[in-house]
Amino acid sequence: MNNLLLELNEQQLAAVTITDRPLRIVAGAGSGKTKVITTKIAYLIEEMKIPAYKILAVTFTNKAAREMRDRVNNIIPNLTSNPHISTFHAWCSRILREEFELINLSKNFLIIDQGDQVAIIRNLINEHFSHLPELKKYTEKKIIYRIGNWKNELISPIEAIEDCYSGLERAIATLYQKYEEYLKTINSIDFNDLQVLVFKIFNENSETLEKWRNRYDYVMVDEFQDTNDLQFDLIKFLTRDKNNLTVVGDPDQTIYSWRGAKVDIILNFNKTFTNGVSITLNENYRSTQKILDLANDFINNNKNREEKEIFTNNQAGDAPVVKECESRNDEARYVTLKIKELIQQGYEYKDIFVLYRLNAWSQEFEKEFQNNKIPFQLIGGIRFKDRRVIKEANAFLRTLATQDEQAVERVLKSIPKVGDVTIKKLKEKAMDMNVSLYDLIVNEDELHINQVSKHLNNIREVLAKSVDVYKESKNIRMTLQFMLIESGYIKKLTDTEKKEDISYIDSLYDQLENFDKSYQTEVNEEGTEKIISYLQEEALLNSDADDIEAQKVTLLTVHAAKGLENKVVFVVGLNQDIFPGRLSSNSAREIEEERRTLYVAVTRAEEKLFITYIKGEFSFISQAELAPSKFIKEFNQDLYSFEGRYQKSINPFANMNSTTNALHQKQAKNVDGYEKDDIVEHMIFGEGVVIEVNGPTMKVAFSSSYGVMPMSVHDATISKKN
């Protein structure tokens, strides 16, 4: 242990050894926070003699939790028990598995994912709100997001309905009520419920709360800047009037306010814990000083922050490059050529990230990389567990374990010769007989299903036999393999030559085999608890960018890159209304978040940093001619190297002053005579009003259903009315 402490710098050592007061560690980018957290866990076990199982460490991604567990095991390889290191949601799931009776759930409750939520919401709209076509204009994901906000603010369906002022709002709130009622009938909860229900348990049951307070002698929170009010309340429940808390985070990396994170929580930590202390880790072990100089100077433009200067002993390296491009294709070509140069210099494809603010920005890079045979991977595609074939296979297991209607319906849709009409008739018959869809197919007289279709006897037999197969083998993989083969599902994939889907099924078998081997059977376990445990574990997997492969350039959003680093980073599309986004421009709070997002992007770079923007090309994303982001104008021109479109281009941002900035915002009269509020006539779209003029483009609000459209001022099909 002493050798481990000797490896720490002065601030890191203090962060590890302070254990008698609430501690906030402000960890700058690349300052070794994971090393500090895992060393502190080892210190608590080895020096403070706290039993490992009495230590709780929570974070936000499975990847971070896995990395912490691995590092602790490497430091102390022969632990007799393990600290509880997990995501917030996995920790809450563990509590609910113990306290399920307090919230009227059965032990084998399911956690549904967003795909299930979408299907449930769609069915409820069709069943109860088909008379409201305006509700159908809302996407299911928007409704789910709205329901999630209500839940996280602890607003019940009844309260939501009472607070609504419009008919549409009331319909969504009523849909929330129907959704909650349906979840109870299938003994399920959603992702938001995990934290909300634990809060209710702690808030309403003092004995249960005390039990969990005594469960942990020490609590640690990673990525504390990403916590929301509800998560912070859970931490305060555990640590109130105790000095057993360490939180680690960086206010300058708070970039998740859209999902509830509040930068003020970490900034005001010492107001909440008045006897708390703070330590700043400001030595960076990742980037060169030239990259850090640009990042430090840029983030100082934020007002709502805690000032700190990140430094490094790595003084080598080139200045960051800012490159002006004439089009999105030109930008992609520039990055492609630079990558080829870097490969010739000895870098590998895996050393390179291309980061952007919007997923839509990747398109030109994908095409250009393919044309130039540059191997790449796109992070943010469909996850393994979200692929249709995996969801269908898991539906067989859900049907076996819970018999819930949604899973049975998915199974029926996935097997040969059963379609929507048959499923609809089965559901109607089950309702008439007052039995579940599963019982109708498996347990009632087969005469009933034969009246609907002659193709259901096989699936009836498979579902019935699978219960015995699992009872005898207690092996999930073997049971699923039996169900998929005997139901005709595998034959269907084979007949349609879906080789990739078959390979996914094989990967699922491998995953299940590993789960079967690692699962610890509980005492007196007789039912399908193991399958439920597997399904719950699957539901808790989040979208970490942790499947990055070797020898490929990685394309990903800045948010997906958080927590990652690489030798070379390209930050592309740094254009106004793109980064920062158009919707952020009118809010100082949102602009500061966008600035923090760019700070995160810049500080992913270890050795080389390239920043690109486009000037002149029209874009429907921004609905205007692309212009440099205001953030580029905030960069200190002495801290980067500028590359224009031509060999001897001069940096247009050098010696910028307030007059230049004011000129950018000025609404000047266009050379063709168009001004704001002009009435115009278009040959196709009809009459409209000019609402904005920006050089060679303008925005026109048409009185027809076309709404606001970007137009060229030189368009011959439009003219000004007298």
Q: Which residues are annotated as a binding site for ATP?
A: 27-34
Q: 678 has which bridge partners?
A: none
- For residue 47, list its beta bridge partners: none
Give the residue ranges of the annotated binding site.
Answer: 27-34
* CB atoms closer than 10 angstroms to residue 453: 17
What are the strands, taking DSSP E only, across 253-341? 277-281, 321-325
- Give the Cα separation of 506 and 515 in Å (integer): 14
Give ∠ CA 612-618-623 in degrees, rounded to 5.
105
Contacts 24+ apart (CB under 8 A), 38-41: 38/68, 38/71, 38/72, 38/75, 39/4, 39/5, 39/8, 39/12, 39/75, 40/15, 40/16, 40/220, 40/246, 41/68, 41/72, 41/83, 41/85, 41/220
Dist. CA 552–CA 376, nearest whole Å: 5
| DSSP per position, 663-690 | HHH--PPPTT---TT-EEEETTTEEEEE
Can you tell me the distance from the alpha carbon of 394 to that of 398, in angstroms, rounded to the nearest whole number?
Answer: 6
Closest alpha carbon to 599 in 311, 250, 359: 250
Distance CA 546, CA 543 (A): 8
Residues 6+ apart with CB under 8 A from 180: 157
The SS3 call for residue 431 is helix
Residue 307, number of CB atoms within 10 A of its CB: 10
Integer angstrom CA distances of residue 543 from 189, 383, 555, 594: 19, 7, 15, 21
Q: How far is CA 198 from the centre of its chain?
A: 22
Taking each helix axis as running N to C, give the angle between helix 476-486 and helix 457-473, from 0 to 180 degrees, rounded to the nearest 10: 160
571: left (phi over 0), alpha (psi -120 to 50) or beta: beta
